[in-house]
Structure 1
């Protein structure tokens, strides 16, 4: 029984799959890099928590009106 030789279409598909994989990894790397830059730019983790678009009373500073 002879071994089957890969057809030409399989080699072309393999090349396209490698290309799509490289593009996907580049996109993931770009999103990760932008996230790291955003977090490092904020500096304080408390500032990062303020950007979750939800009003949380514990993050609002006191007005100083101690009645």
Structure 2
């Protein structure tokens, strides 16, 4: 006499568990594959810096010079206002 008798329900659950496990592995594989493609596809690291939604002058050509020019103009304007009574 067998001490462990498996019911039909156990076989169906085992099949479903294998299916869910394979789906999870497939999802992990897809995410890993997309990550590898994205990392290897970057030719310039500044492309990745664009996705953090922070303004960085070094990313925009001419932005740093424009900011320095604006600061100089504001300083000159403040100096002119202070010099006048």
Task: Name the TM-score, length of structure 2 as normaliser.
Answer: 0.59
**Structure 2 runs not aligned, ≥5 long:** 59-63, 73-85
2:54 corresponds in structure 1 to 55
1:16 corresponds in structure 2 to 16
Q: How many residues align?
A: 63
Residue 1 of structure 2 corresponds to residue 4 of structure 1:
no
The structure that is helix-richer by fraction is: 2
Residue 41 of structure 2 corresponds to residue 41 of structure 1:
yes
Aligned-residue offset at 1:7: 0.9
Task: Name the TM-score, length of structure 1 as normaliser.
Answer: 0.71
* C-alpha RMSD of matched pairs (Å): 2.0
**Larger RCO: 1 or 2 (CA < 8 Å, sep 6+):** 1
**Structure 1 runs not aligned, ≥5 long:** none
